[in-house]
Structures are given as structure tokens and as C-alpha cells.
């Protein structure tokens, strides 16, 4: 079975200096057939300039992964910008990534494989490994995996 399409949705507000590494972690995915949709939520710190450079270097339509960047004139808040991004998604599956996160190289492939193997599932999440500015592990967060435990949390 072919993998369904997926959009990686990222919102960014004053995300420098982390956003470069975050974007690189997505563009370096082993699965290449996806859209990276970034909403610049009125950043004032150079994030917008970086995203404009990224747009210019993206190679245009037809390239994989496809890059879509939307610049909002002002910060509309975290939840409203996420909702705006979700309204713009044109794929069946959406992965949300914060602008200061780093995705492991197989995140998209593993997500797609899971949904293909479990068509009855609508939502997935993951544990988190926290790192410092040097990439050293400084902590972890583990989340429930069962339906009842998730609902309770």
C-alpha cells in the first residue's frame, strides 16, 4: 500500500536561533513525500527573514518535500495560528512540530507506517527527550499509550 500524503505543520514566533535546526531535521527525513507548512506568527527576531531565504532556496513547485510558508502580519496567538494552519492542510495526515523541536530522521516514515498499519487510529503522539543547546540529553517525558490512560490525562 502506498503511503498517504502528510503535512508537517509548524508555527513559529520569534523562533531564532532554533528554527534552522528544526527545519533541517524535517528536510532531512528519510521519507521525502510530504509538505512542510510553516506559519510565521508575526515574528520580530529574524525568523521571517530566515523563512524568506528558505522560500527562495526551496526550488519551487514539484520539489519534494514541498515547502509552503505563510507570513502573518501580527502574532495571533498559539491556538489561533495552529487552527489557521490546520485549515490550510490539504492532506489526510498532519504532524505538528514546534519550531524549537528536532525530529528524528524517521519520524515521518514511522508515523505514516503506523497509520497505514492501524487505520482505526486517529491520533498519535510520542515521548519526548529534552536536550540542551549542545545536544546533550537533560531529561525525558513519557506519556500514556492506552486509550483509557490518555483520556484520563
pLDDT exceeds cutoff 60 at 27: yes
Residue 20: is its pLDDT beyond 90? Answer: yes
Give the pLDDT of residue 3.
57
Write the DSSP string, 52-95. HHHHHHS--TT-SSEEEEEEESS---HHHHHHHHHHH--SSEEE
How far lies 131's CA from each of 27, 141, 142, in Å? 20, 12, 15
The predicted-structure confidence for 91-150, as pLDDT tens digits, reads as follows 999 999 999 999 999 999 999 999 989 999 888 888 888 888 888 999 999 888 888 888
pTM above 0.85, yes or no: yes
pLDDT digits (tens, 9 = 90+) for 42-87: 999 999 999 999 988 876 666 667 899 999 999 999 999 999 999 9
Choice between 47 and 2, residue whose per-residue pLDDT is larger: 47
Q: Span 12-38, mean pLDDT?
A: 94
Q: Quote the pLDDT of residue 1.
A: 45
Residue 85, judged by CB atoms within 10 A of its CB (0-12, 13-18, 19+), counts as buried
Amino acid at each position: 500500500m502506498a503511503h498517504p500524503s502528510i503535512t508537517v505543520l509548524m508555527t513559529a514566533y520569534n523562533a531564532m536561533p532554533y528554527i534552522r535546526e528544526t527545519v533541517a531535521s524535517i528536510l532531512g527525513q528519510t521519507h521525502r513525500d510530504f509538505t512542510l507548512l510553516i506559519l510565521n506568527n508575526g515574528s520580530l527576531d529574524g525568523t521571517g527573514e530566515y523563512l524568506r531565504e528558505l522560500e527562495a532556496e526551496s526550488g519551487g513547485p514539484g520539489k519534494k518535500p514541498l515547502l509552503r510558508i505563510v507570513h502573518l502580519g501580527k502574532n495571533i496567538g498559539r491556538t489561533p495560528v495552529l487552527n489557521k494552519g490546520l485549515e490550510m492542510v490539504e492532506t489526510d495526515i498532519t504532524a505538528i512540530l514546534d519550531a524549537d523541536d528536532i525530529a528524528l530522521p524517521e519520524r515521518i516514515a514511522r508515523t505514516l507506517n503506523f497509520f497505514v498499519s492501524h487505520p482505526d487510529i486517529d491520533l498519535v503522539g510520542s515521548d519526548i527527550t529534552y536536550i540542551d543547546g549542545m545536544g546533550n540529553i537533560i531529561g525525558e517525558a513519557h506519556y500514556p499509550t492506552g486509550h483509557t490512560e490518555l483520556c484520563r490525562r
